[in-house]
Chain A
Amino acid sequence: MFGEPIVRVEDPRLLTGQGRYLDDLGRGALAAAFVRSPYAHARITGIDVDGALDVDGLVAVYTWEDLPGRVGEPLPLLIPHPALTHGRTAYPLARDVVRHVGEPVVMVVARDRYLAEDAAGRIQVTYQPLPVVVGIEKSASAEYLVHDDVPGNVGAFLVQEVGDAPAAIDAAPHVLEFRLDIERSASMPLEGRGVYARWDADDESLRVYSSTQTSTSVRMAIAAKLGLPPAKVEVIAPDVGGGFGVKIVHPWPEEVLVPWAARLLNQEVKWAEDRREHFVSSAHERGQVQFVRVGFDDEGRVLGLDVKILHDHGAYTPYGIIIPIITSTQLLGPYKLGAYRAEVTSLYTNTLIVTPYRGAGRPQGVFCMERTMDRIAAHLHLDRIDVRAANLIQPDEFPYDQGLIFQDGRPLIYDSGDYPALLRKARDLIGWDSFGSLRAVATAEGRRIGIGFACYVEGTGVGPYEGGHVEVDSSGRVHVSTGLTSQGQGHQTVFAQIAAAELGVPISDVQVTTGDTRRFGYAVGTFASRAAVMSGNAIALACRRLKEKALRIAAEALEADPRDLEIADGQVYVRGNPSASIPLRTVAVLSNPLRYAFDEEAQRATQFATGSSPDEPPIAPGEEPGLEGKDYYSPVRSTFAAGAHAAIVETDPDTAEIRILRYAVVHDCGRLINPRIVEGQIHGGVAQGIAGALYEKMEYDSDGQLLNASFMDFLMPYATEIPRIEIDHLETPSPLNPLGIKGAGEAGVIPVSAVIASAIEDAEGFEISAMPISPDDLFRLRRH
């Protein structure tokens, strides 16, 4: 069960159109639309809603002035950090000043979305444009400010340091200095964001559906904003059409405003984001400039690395500085460096906010480290993989303390891994050592090919915790719930696999619920490749509790020692004597002493039927009725997955087109719960990585207009653009958790830009320092 590539249990629903995504709900609900700023930076001088008033079906129009109390306050700064000295967040509707194109200014509620857009289109907002700050350099120059009260546009300044890197570099036999750039992209799930709220006036309670990666935290935020007791707020993440990070941000303005309006109007209200809104009003990621200084010895061992990172975090910092923290720590990868210093300056610009997108700062860090390895190899005329090998942490060095503080506030200590084996496998899989002859053949044909390589380490399964609840009902069905949410990762399958394996029940008896605060109120969310590690282990622990209880009750019924009992196929039986058995469903009945029978089976648990001792209470002290188990998993720190990727790329000598001929992945995420699902995650990650390396970037002009805010111009790859992906696994269990697993969700995307840059560089013979790279870029580089 555990470890088997079984097909997914969620599929039949999703394949037949029975999935329920946000906009599939609330058919009769009113629709919200927003008037959003067309300016990147401007003062609002007037809002005239008169034109909208004669739109048939208009229900309400709101501006910031209409928002009472906490609803009108700035949105929370979710992850404060001492280095984030000038954190700023937006108001749900702009107050006086707008700081990026797409910032919501007016909310419209109408009978349907067509009419809401009609009304929104007739609202006249007048603006006085202010100077616009776009691009890292322009922000750093601080000629103009994004926020008047943030000097230098600097939101945060952070230093991560082990040893004295500048001194180590000065003393090193070889020193290189260079600049690396990565552009902005975005998560871009095919389903946008969305919120649907129902206020129950009689019960004074609110039910909210949100296409979110964290329903529990959305609930807390809404309760706080609306002044409701959390017990009166339910938040449910229905089927979610992809997240990839963007849906972890919360509460979005709309997540506050839609429930607020639903309550105020006492009518159901829904907002389903459209694609254009998603481009300009959700979040982006990746834009960074890195200045590298590295000192190394003759074997290519890094003696000191000093990186200055300029990070563009957009107009506001609701998610803190998690991304540059991750970049500056995960940059180290599988290597042990002599000394290291990273200095992050996180800057405001008049562009959309920047929050984690699958990989979350790691692709930039890995790009930096792996480009550095390639530069060292080129400088010393050494093999690129050999240089990496010379710097690797060895298998006997775990746990390995990198001496930094990671994104969870805990020391950056790698728990386990076998990096030399990873390198070896990837080298073999791509055929690194025979590439020379392949190239010779290609060259003879007038073709240009190159090979690239990169590795990474990914901290996964960050805390603080997740919980699991498991219950067996009197018909033998097993109900598993956990608070974190799903966006396609197959949680219903893998969590069922874990529960079925732990409990000894058929997987078809297990039903899993995620992201529903009615079922599980405490949770953190789905991000940082943490779901399988956190909830998977919590569910395993909860199952173990349930099992212990089940065995105790069954032992009494079977008059056996619990230690002699086992569960298989939903039956508790005495080991070695299968005829002495009792179904788990009967144990469930017995676990709940009854006064009233509701069916024949239940009669066994009523007062005159049980043979319980007349001298003891029906529920022993410390016990609870019901066959349930609940537990939490809270790790001391993250567990570290790792991998190595390699690719062979062809560049067209005439057209400068770039084609990936082969793409190979070796991946270690500890024990695999379901290899098929893990491979699916890798496929998706690599495809997003290729997208970010060759196709996707957010094109802002100097006025802060996003020039490619559509799928026509933001070039998300189709099947025709993605090569076949070859995968091999390594399984180094994590010693940190009961199941020995590590996260796998983000891994695929992390090293791709580094690998592709490495391969193009190899094909072309000149340095590649900026990604993504288009044929036009390559064409221009060739002319230099």
Chain B
Amino acid sequence: MNERVYEIGLTVNGVPRSATAPARRLLSDFLRHDLGLTGTHVGCEHGVCGCCTVLLDGDPVRSCLTFAITVEGREVTTVEGLADPDGTLSPVQQAFQDSHGLQCGFCTPGFLCTVTALLRDNPAPTEAEVLEGISGNLCRCTGYQNIIKAVLSLSRGVSRTAQENGAGNATTQRGSGDHVR
């Protein structure tokens, strides 16, 4: 039973990369194990946790729900490609450090990719837009407080005082609970 393999080429973080893999190779595994880019993490392999989120032609997608071969030839950005080539952290990365937006760091690459695209598309998100934007990423460590704070610290729409008050301004009430929308 020999499985057919394909030479799969992608542009990853601006660099053309390729490896040989069967059609069923998930993009997450292709990046991690075939290309050795282990910054992209895998937390559920069924699309819920968001740890594996990468940017496909700039848009966040679940690499665990994408076959590498399907996106042959396209551009993928992973967490390894967010910082400057000289190692300077991107504004999003820096904000996560400054706001203590990570603990174990396992969910972090997915959040960073998601937030990078979010702020590119909407440089001044409100707290509600930030919540919607990161609502597909689980974090078990931080209770999201400082992740939200980090993203809001980059939002051009949120005033400094509101930021200093913590995660958003004190008058908006973010509730837990179920959602009638």
**Interface centre among B83, B138, B176, B177, by most A CB within 10 Å?**
B176
The verdict on A17 contacting B80 (CB below 8 Å), with A244-B140, A489-B103 known, is yes
Residue of A nearest to B3 (CB): A56
**Interface centre among B39, B96, B132, B178, by most A CB within 10 Å?**
B178
Determine if B142 is an interface residue (Cβ-Cβ < 8 Å): yes
The verdict on A15 contacting B89 (CB below 8 Å), with A190-B106, A275-B44, A710-B46 known, is yes
The verdict on A488 contacting B105 (CB below 8 Å), with A16-B89, A17-B37 known, is yes
Specify which of A18, A190, A710, A722 is in contact with B144 (CB 8 Å cutoff). Answer: A722
Q: Are A10 and B143 touching (Cβ within 8 A)? A: no
Specify which of A684, A690, A775 is in contact with B103 (CB 8 Å cutoff). Answer: A684
Residue of A nearest to B80 (CB): A17
Determine if B38 is an interface residue (Cβ-Cβ < 8 Å): yes
Q: Which of B65-73, B107-115, B154-162 is near enough to bind chain A?
A: B107-115
Determine if A7 is an interface residue (Cβ-Cβ < 8 Å): yes
Q: Which of A163-171, A290-298, A414-422, A650-658 is near enough to bind chain B?
A: A650-658
The verdict on A720 contacting B179 (CB below 8 Å), with A7-B97, A14-B102 known, is yes
Cα distance, A10 to B96, chains bound together (Å) = 12
Chain B residues within an 8 Å CB radius of A658: 176-178
* Nearest Cβ on chain B to A322's Cβ, whole angstroms: 22
Cα distance, A55 to B2, chains bound together (Å) = 8
* Nearest Cβ on chain B to A309's Cβ, whole angstroms: 28
Residue of A nearest to B37 (CB): A17
Chain A residues within an 8 Å CB radius of B59: none
Q: Are B138 and A650 touching (Cβ within 8 A)? A: no
Q: Are B38 and A189 touching (Cβ within 8 A)? A: no
What is the 8 Å Cβ interface bit string for chain B, positions 8-39, against chain A (1 contact, 0 not)? Answer: 00000000000000101100000011001111
Q: Are A660 and B176 touching (Cβ within 8 A)? A: yes
What is the 8 Å Cβ interface bit string for chain B, positions 57-87, against chain A (1 contact, 0 not)? Answer: 0000000000000000000001110110001
Q: Are B176 and A722 touching (Cβ within 8 A)? A: yes
Cα distance, A661 to B171, chains bound together (Å) = 11
Q: Which of A19-27, A86-94, A425-433, A537-545 is near enough to bind chain B?
A: A19-27
Query: Number of B residues whose C-beta is below 8 Å from A?
Result: 71
The verdict on A11 contacting B176 (CB below 8 Å), with A191-B41, A712-B46 known, is no
Determine if B51 is an interface residue (Cβ-Cβ < 8 Å): yes
Residue of A nearest to B81 (CB): A17
Within A1-59, the residues touching B (CB, 8 Å) are 7-8, 10-12, 14-21, 23-24, 27, 54-56
Q: Total number of A-B contacts with CB less than 8 angstroms?
A: 215
What is the 8 Å Cβ interface bit string for chain B, positions 111-155, against chain A (1 contact, 0 not)? Answer: 010000000000000000001101111111111111110000000
**Interface centre among A56, A657, A723, by most B CB within 10 Å?**
A723
Determine if A444 is an interface residue (Cβ-Cβ < 8 Å): no
Chain A residues within an 8 Å CB radius of B78: 17
**Interface centre among B106, B112, B148, by most A CB within 10 Å?**
B106
Cα distance, A190 to B89, chains bound together (Å) = 24
The verdict on A190 contacting B140 (CB below 8 Å), with A24-B38, A655-B180 known, is yes
Determine if A717 is an interface residue (Cβ-Cβ < 8 Å): yes
Query: Number of A residues whose C-beta is below 8 Å from B?
Result: 72
Cα distance, A205 to B42, chains bound together (Å) = 31
Residue of B nearest to A272 (CB): B42
Q: Are A719 and B147 touching (Cβ within 8 A)? A: yes
The verdict on A16 contacting B80 (CB below 8 Å), with A487-B104, A490-B103 known, is yes
Chain A residues within an 8 Å CB radius of B51: 190
Chain A residues within an 8 Å CB radius of B139: 190, 719
Specify which of A8, A24, A242 is in contact with B141 (CB 8 Å cutoff). Answer: A242
Cα distance, A7 to B135, chains bound together (Å) = 26
Cα distance, A687 to B148, chains bound together (Å) = 14
Chain B residues within an 8 Å CB radius of A221: none
Chain B residues within an 8 Å CB radius of A487: 104
The verdict on A8 contacting B97 (CB below 8 Å), with A191-B104, A723-B174 known, is yes
Within A472-497, the residues touching B (CB, 8 Å) are 487-490
Determine if A435 is an interface residue (Cβ-Cβ < 8 Å): no
Q: Are A7 and B100 touching (Cβ within 8 A)? A: yes
Cα distance, A687 to B143, chains bound together (Å) = 5
Cα distance, A685 to B103, chains bound together (Å) = 12
Cα distance, A240 to B179, chains bound together (Å) = 33
The verdict on A712 contacting B179 (CB below 8 Å), with A17-B39, A724-B174 known, is no
Determine if A274 is an interface residue (Cβ-Cβ < 8 Å): yes
Residue of A nearest to B132 (CB): A720
The verdict on A114 contacting B103 (CB below 8 Å), with A680-B142, A687-B144, A724-B145 known, is no
* Nearest Cβ on chain A to B173's Cβ, whole angstroms: 6
Chain A residues within an 8 Å CB radius of B53: none
Chain B residues within an 8 Å CB radius of A10: 105
Determine if B49 is an interface residue (Cβ-Cβ < 8 Å): yes
Residue of A nearest to B2 (CB): A56
What is the 8 Å Cβ interface bit string for chain A, positions 324-349, against chain B (1 contact, 0 not)? Answer: 00000000000000000000000000
The verdict on A23 contacting B42 (CB below 8 Å), with A15-B93, A114-B24, A242-B104 known, is yes
Determine if B163 is an interface residue (Cβ-Cβ < 8 Å): no
Cα distance, A39 to B18, chains bound together (Å) = 43
Q: Are B167 and A724 touching (Cβ within 8 A)? A: yes
Residue of B nearest to A487 (CB): B104
Known: A16-B80, A716-B138, A723-B173. 5 other contacts (CB 8 A): A16-B82, A17-B78, A190-B51, A190-B140, A661-B173
4 pairs of A and B residues whose beta carbons are closest in the complex: A17-B39, A488-B104, A241-B106, A687-B143
7 contacts between A and B (CB under 8 A): A7-B97, A12-B89, A16-B80, A21-B38, A657-B178, A660-B176, A684-B140
Residues of B within 8 A of A (CB): 1-3, 22, 24-25, 32-33, 36-46, 48-49, 51, 78-80, 82-83, 87, 89, 93, 96-98, 100, 102-109, 112, 131-132, 134-148, 166-168, 173-180
